[in-house]
Amino acid sequence: MLISIPLAEIKITFARSGGAGGQNVNKTSTKAILHWSVGNSQVLSVEEKDLVRTKLANRINNNDEVVLMSDEERSQPQNRDLAIARLQSLVAGALHVPKKRRPTRPTKASKLRRIESKKIRSQIKSGRRFSV
């Protein structure tokens, strides 16, 4: 299920990030910090919000917000886009309901094959017995 979270619901701030970038890291705020309020979302129904809250419980803070950070790239726009894409995929993954497994039974032919192989194995082992 592909869901698109509008940019109006997302709050993005920037901070200084560590890592690669040399002296540029000390001067520019390229780390993107994304906040998205699950409760105030207009695109999700109440059931979907509950599903997101349960699946992403370890990523939601006390303010009912999903907080993501991205500082892999050296520019603000790239980190911003990465954070938004990560949020979209997280929410889509949380809303995905796996297909219910239907138990299957072995076929008659597969049962016969299993029994035949057991018989053959039994004969091989019985042939190894020491007889006096």
**The architecture CATH gives domain 7-95:** 2-Layer Sandwich (3.30)
Q: pLDDT 10s digit of each residue in the chain, 132 long?
A: 567 888 999 999 999 887 666 777 778 888 999 999 999 999 999 999 999 999 999 999 999 999 999 988 888 999 999 999 999 999 999 999 889 999 999 999 999 999 999 999 999 999 898 766
> What pLDDT score does 1 carry?
59
In the chain, what are the domain boundaries? 7-95
Quick one: how far is CA 53 from the chain centroid? 14
- For the chain, give the number of residues: 132
> Using CA atoms, how far apart are residues 72 and 118, in angstroms rounded to an integer?
57
Please give the model's pTM, rounded to 2 decimal places: 0.71
Cβ proximity of 9 and 41 under 8 Å: yes
